[in-house]
């Protein structure tokens, strides 16, 4: 069984997809794919083929998609790339193999891989919507807004721009501590950086509004109407480590 490792970047992901689609046997792709960005949570195998970004392969997969797919397909592939814990690389490659003969392959309800891809994309945007409402910012210094979280999917590239528009005069810093991805934004511009190590000590962040926020939640609460089950449905326990009102 083939094992593939890649560094979690978009260009390397496209290289990997090209490899799985065109450089394997017709009965493949079989095997497993590991994103090195998730190595904190996923144990890596001792052996595997390390995929490096290849400009010719990136160009080749884009040309193939442009020739046989519709204009939105590359954007969809980017969204599936963001679903980096869903294991979509091999199902995507299998669908791409059929694209030449069936341009609607990604929308076939009888095809297991297509259903898996569409389900994952819907989950990605549900999580995006959730974090747009739940992401909490701290202000360690004037003019800087800092937030950190560990989303199930790599939603940071598709939520950061929202906060730049909401706070155009502030410097926005958002960290995905699971993947080691840093979002920096200001004045309508942003950049994404990959970090090798990142540790945040929430207790070291001095922000008077955090205590004010906690007090607000405490004072507006009506003890007789507290419903723990409903709270867990709206704000799952796995998210509360990043919300100051629950710390």
Q: What is the DSSP string of 119-139?
A: HHHHHHHHHHHHHHHH---B-
pLDDT at position 202, please?
Answer: 60
Residue 74 tokens read as 């590359």
Nearest to 20 by CA among 37, 7, 3: 3
Tell me if 183 sits within 8 A of 190, measured CB to CB: yes
pLDDT at position 176, please?
Answer: 93
pLDDT at position 85, please?
Answer: 93
pLDDT tens, 141-170? 788 899 999 999 999 999 999 999 998 889
Q: How far apart are the C-alpha atoms of 7 and 36, rounded to whole Å? A: 5
pLDDT at position 25, please?
Answer: 60
Q: Where is 68: in which H helix or E strand?
A: helix 55-68
pLDDT at position 196, please?
Answer: 76
pLDDT at position 27, please?
Answer: 46
* Per-residue pLDDT of the chain in tens (247 residues, 90 and over written 9): 789 999 999 999 999 999 999 987 644 556 789 999 887 777 777 788 899 999 999 999 999 999 998 889 999 999 999 999 999 999 999 999 999 999 999 999 999 999 999 999 999 999 999 999 999 888 877 888 999 999 999 999 999 999 999 988 899 999 998 899 999 998 888 999 988 766 666 666 777 777 787 788 788 888 888 888 888 888 888 888 888 777 7
């Amino acid at each position: 069984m083939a094992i593939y490792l890649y560094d979690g970047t978009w260009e390397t992901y496209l290289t990997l997809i090209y490899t799985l689609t065109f450089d394997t046997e017709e009965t493949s792709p079989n095997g497993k794919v590991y994103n090195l960005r998730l190595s904190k949570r996923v144990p890596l195998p001792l052996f595997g083929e390390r995929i490096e970004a290849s400009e010719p392969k990136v160009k080749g997969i884009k040309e193939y998609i442009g020739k046989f797919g519709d204009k939105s397909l590359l954007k969809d592939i980017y969204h599936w790339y963001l679903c980096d814990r869903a294991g979509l690389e091999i199902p995507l490659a299998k669908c791409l193999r059929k694209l030449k003969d069936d341009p609607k392959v990604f929308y076939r309800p009888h095809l297991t891989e297509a259903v898996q891809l569409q389900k994952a994309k819907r989950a990605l945007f549900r999580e995006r919507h959730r974090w747009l409402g739940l992401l909490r910012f701290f202000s360690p210094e004037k003019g800087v807004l800092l937030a950190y979280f560990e989303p199930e999917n790599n939603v940071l590239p598709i939520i950061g721009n929202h906060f730049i528009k909401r706070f155009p005069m502030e410097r926005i810093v958002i960290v995905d501590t699971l993947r080691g991805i840093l979002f920096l934004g200001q004045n309508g511009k942003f950049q994404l950086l990959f970090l090798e190590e990142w540790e945040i000590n929430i207790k070291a962040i001095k922000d008077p509004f955090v205590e004010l926020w906690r007090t607000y939640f405490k004072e507006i609460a009506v003890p007789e109407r507290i419903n723990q089950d409903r709270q867990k449905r709206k704000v799952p326990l796995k998210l509360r480590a990043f919300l100051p009102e629950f710390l």
